[in-house]
Amino acid sequence: MTITPTELVEQVVMPGSAELLIKEARERARRRRLRWTTAFTLLIAACLTAIGIVHYTSSPRKLSNSRSDTSATVPTCPSARVRLLGVTTLPGAAVSAGMLVRAAVSSSATCTMGGFPIVGAQLTSHSTAMASDQRLGIFEGMSKPTAPLPRLSITSRSQVVSFTIDFVTGNGPVCPRIDSIKISLPGSREVLRTRPIFNAGGLAQPMRFIYCSGLQVTPLVKGASGSGS
């Protein structure tokens, strides 16, 4: 008589199934750990990126290439006293116009001033044109494009400084006019507002230039000529 070992067969099959279940459970656990590790790594990377962005934005703003010759954004002459002496027109061509800006500057604490003034033209179109830096302008400026910019020692004794502004103008109604000009000398906290003065036949009167494009400013120099040669 032959007896079939059914119980033995069950003992062989069940452990194999259990082993497969255990392997599957371990695989699921491994995948969960991998997902958690990946998520944690991404979280750390995001935090480090955010810290880097905050550090960059909270640190002093670096100057662009057009401002590479100016001082830092923190005023180097915070106590400077600035008085405009005049903003007069310069003879230009058919499509160019310019102004010579003269100012008297002094400071209770000796400091150094140099670089490009910050100039903004308030237009009748209710917009503002900001001037870009130009070492050698149409009218004056430095003698050479690569010439070093002057560094002016500002003391309690008032001295005359100057620079020039130029831009593309026109004679039609398409372009707006310059209503006023905002000026801040490099390193100074003071922001001055003025209008250009047109001199003709011994008469001086405010002039509202037609402005089309290309507002530029030359470096601050010593004296009233606007020239750094």
Q: Which residues contact 176 (CB under 8 A, 6 or more apart)?
A: 123, 124, 125, 127, 210, 211
pLDDT for 101 equals 93
CA dist 85 and 103 (Å) reads: 5
pLDDT for 144 equals 76
3-state SS assignment for residue 164? strand
Alpha carbon 147 to its chain's center: 23
Q: What angle do CA 44, 48, 54 make, to 5 degrees?
A: 145
Q: Which two tokens stand for residue 196?
A: 């250009």
3-state SS assignment for residue 8? helix
The CATH number that domain 80-222 falls under is 2.60.40
CA dist 107 and 85 (Å) reads: 17
Check residues 144 and 47 and name the one with the higher pLDDT.
144
pLDDT for 53 equals 36
Integer CA distances (angstroms), 7 to 2, 17, 21, 127, in order? 15, 16, 21, 94
174-193 residue pLDDT tens? 899 898 999 999 999 999 99
Averaged pLDDT, 119-148: 86
Averaged pLDDT, 22-41: 71
Q: Model's pTM, two decimal places?
A: 0.64
Domain boundaries in the chain? 1-59, 80-222
